Amino acid sequence: MIENVVSVIIPAHNAEEYLEETVKSVLNSSYKNIEIIIMDDGSNDKTGEIADSLAKKYLNISSFHQVNKGVAAARNEAIKQSKGKYILPLDADDLISIDYIEKAVTILEENVDVKVVYGNAQFFGNKFGKWDLPDFDINLLARRNIIYVSGIYRRKDYDKTGGYSEEIAGLEDWDFWISMFKTGGKVKYIDTECFYYRITQDSKRTKDSKKKKQIIDLLNMRHKDFFDKQLGGKLHYNRSWSRVLNSLNIKGF
């Protein structure tokens, strides 16, 4: 592990249209002590070729390839290849601001009790505007995902979680944040534009919303003690009512 290096982890599946733009937003960062790890997740377009071309052009970019195993497996494998003290997961169609990494590293270096730093997010593509994110609250995290995937954290904290769950077919970042924070730790929010989430017809956020019951069932299996503590029982399909339903011992919904 190299001190103060930020490893930017980019899983990429059929991302030929956006990958280079995403990488360039990282290369434009004011914080230069970075490495970029691109994991081509079994793409059948030109994603792999673009990743290899970028790796040949820039010394701080590495490209790897695997058979299609999903975004969680691609992130985990890319992190295994990384050397940085800090991790920034970034999907292959999203962008970051010039100063996001610099601001986040400064906060993490100065605050050992802060586990994750993230900031103001904006939608672009098929939808524009601010992504309204609530203040971090561990009880709210038990009911919904309140941190986008591209929060910046320490590699050592990733190692303690066991990584991104490869069995959850969506919202694996929510599962990961639960794994991260159920053992404690603080969050720091940067109140300036840091992250740009691209909305397309095939956006992962849209796809994940269609798998709600399957995801909630797996979350309950993986984090029973956490939900018992925060919600007085399981996470229900009607998530916002979980504590009330548990207090009434209602098992459906």
Write down the pLDDT at residue 205.
52
Is 201 a residue whose pLDDT tops 80? Answer: no
Is residue 250 in a domain? no
Domain ranges, residue 119: 2-203
pLDDT band per the 50, 70, 90 thresholds, residue 72: very high
Write down the pLDDT at residue 3.
75
Is residue 210 in a domain? no
Domain total in the chain: 1
Determine the Cα–Cα distance for residues 175 and 252; give it in Å rounded to an integer. 22
pLDDT band per the 50, 70, 90 thresholds, residue 251: low
pLDDT band per the 50, 70, 90 thresholds, residue 211: confident
CA atoms lying within 13 Å on the CB side of residue 122:
12
Is residue 232 in a domain? no
Is 206 a residue whose pLDDT tops 90? Answer: no
Write down the pLDDT at residue 24.
98
Is residue 226 in a domain? no
Is residue 148 in a domain? yes
Is 20 a residue whose pLDDT tops 90? Answer: yes
Determine the Cα–Cα distance for residues 235 and 125; give it in Å rounded to an integer. 33
Determine the Cα–Cα distance for residues 61 and 74; give it in Å rounded to an integer. 16
- What integer best gives the mean pLDDT of the chain? 93
> Is 67 in contact with 111 (CB distance < 8 Å)?
no
Write down the pLDDT at residue 204.
53
How many beta carbons lie within 10 A of that of residue 146, not counting itself? Answer: 17
Is residue 238 in a domain? no
Is residue 216 in a domain? no
Is residue 10 in a domain? yes
Answering whether pTM is above 0.85, one says yes
Query: With DSSP H G I counted as helix, E B as strand and the rest as coil, what are the percentages for the chain, rounded to 5?
Result: 40, 25, 35
Mean pLDDT of 225-240: 94
pLDDT band per the 50, 70, 90 thresholds, residue 49: very high
Going by the DSSP 8-state scheme, the letter that residue 211 receives in this structure is G
* Pairing of β 95-96 and β 186-199: antiparallel
Is 203 a residue whose pLDDT tops 60? Answer: no
Report the CATH number at residue 96.
Answer: 3.90.550.10
Q: Which residue has the tokens 């030109």?
A: 46
> Is 40 in contact with 47 (CB distance < 8 Å)?
yes
Per-residue model confidence as pLDDT tens digits over 90-131: 999 999 999 999 999 999 999 999 999 999 999 998 889 999
Q: How many residues does the chain have?
A: 253
